[in-house]
Amino acid sequence: MLDRRKFLIATGSTLVSTSLPAARSRTAPLGGETLVAAVQACEAASGGRLGVAILDTATGARFAHRGDERFPMCSTFKLPLAAAILREVDRGRTSLGHKVPVSARDILDHSPFSETRVGGTASLGELCEATMTNSDNAAANLLLPVIGGPAGLTRFARALGDKMTRFDRYEPDLGTCTPGDPRDTTTPLATLALLDRILLGSVLSGSSRTRLTQWMIDNQTGDRRLRAGLPAAWRVGDKTGTGGHGTTNDIAILWPPKRPPLLITSYLTGSPLSTADSEAIHARLARSVARAGESAFRSARSHS
């Protein structure tokens, strides 16, 4: 798991590194000083506070900028929510076919799937898919009680070893992103560890991991964020989040060609930019990560 791996961390302008295990010692660390400078440039251009964490699963190299600082999650919380539902399914406590009633009072702004089911029902599988692929807010609120509400989702995170991430409210309140408010926040490194455990670990059954990953690949809300900065040959699955006080986020799994994936968490808050321009910051970050990754991959091949 991620917390047992050696790592490379950049926090602010400080770079600290530890040696990789002997079997990996010839592999260039991901990005090094070049990536540090690129991330700092992205943050400066944003006018806000940018938190980034990256794991190269092929080598165990890890990079972070403001990795231990708190950031509002916004709708990125929907990924661990869907994972928690899938774990309940794996344990036989519910099923994806279980029906949930949908009423007019459940509908919130940006609930494109749920509003089509008012007066009827939706299955847990349908609600999870809508939550992950369209960031349907009403669907997320309908799912939360299944796992004990925000407190239950926090317990899920704690059970996976995450002592930082906290889930406190329902939509739309969790998207207020008031500076200094610890509610509904995480750190880039905490969510990176969650991604590692959920997507690549044994938290979920193989079929549930595949289902969750496919929902990320099918996401329709991230085309202007990390996805926009990646080479065409790279595959990507992600979950976005957007909220008040200049907050735009994206967390993702990236597959370079013929190579194990990278995991990345990217949180931006306090930016005066428009949403479109903030999204471009995430795309710019992804371009820098791809360049750093491809450079490290070439170095690894030359030493193999």
Look at the alpha carbons of 294, 58, 69, 87 in this order and tell me if their dihedral is positive or negative: positive
Residue with tokens 């990953």: 213
Q: Are 63 and 32 in contact (CB under 8 A)?
A: no
Q: Are 170 and 150 in contact (CB under 8 A)?
A: yes
CA atoms within 13 Å, Cβ hemisphere of 174: 25
75 as an active site residue: the answer is yes
- Dist. CA 27–CA 16, nearest whole Å: 17
Residue 145: how many other CB atoms lie within 10 Å = 11
DSSP 263: E
Q: Cα–chain-centroid distance for residue 3?
A: 17
Catalytic residue among 19, 25, 46, 75: 75
CA dihedral 276→262→267→186, nearest 10 degrees, is 150
Residue with tokens 């409210």: 169
Residues catalogued as catalytic: 75
